[in-house]
Structure 1
Amino acid sequence: MAYHITDDCIACGACQPECPTEAISAGDIYVIDPDKCIDCGACASVCPVDAPQPE
C-alpha cells in the first residue's frame, strides 16, 4: 500500500525532503510515485493540511 496526495495539497513543499525514497515530485500539487513509496508516513507527519493519505 502506498500513500497518495489529495487535492487538499497546498504545494508547500514540506513533504518532499522528508521522503526517504524520493518518491514525491513537485507540481501544482505534489505527487507520490506508488512504485517508490514504502508506506512510511513521513510525508503525512509533516503536512499542514493532511494531504498525504494511505491508499
Structure 2
Amino acid sequence: MTNNSADGQAEDTQTETGGEPVCWLNRVCDVCGALVDTSLEACWRCDTPLESS
C-alpha cells in the first residue's frame, strides 16, 4: 500500500512481517539448527545431547 505525503512523494506504508517466532529459539539445535522436540534427550538430526531447561 502506498500513500502520498504532503510533498507528493509516494510512501510505502505496508510493513513486512516474517520469520519464525522468537519463542521457538529454545527448540533449535545449537549444532545443526534443526527444530527439535524438547522432550527428547538428543537432536533427531545430529544426535547432539540437548540441554535440560
Same fold by TM-score greater than 0.5: no
Question: Normalised by the size of structure 1, how large is the TM-score?
Answer: 0.25
> Per residue, is there more strand in 1 or in 2?
1
Q: Give the structure, 1 or 2, with the largest relative contact order (CA under 8 Å, sep 6 or more).
A: 1
Question: Normalised by the size of structure 2, how large is the TM-score?
Answer: 0.25
Q: Which has the larger radius of gyration?
A: 2
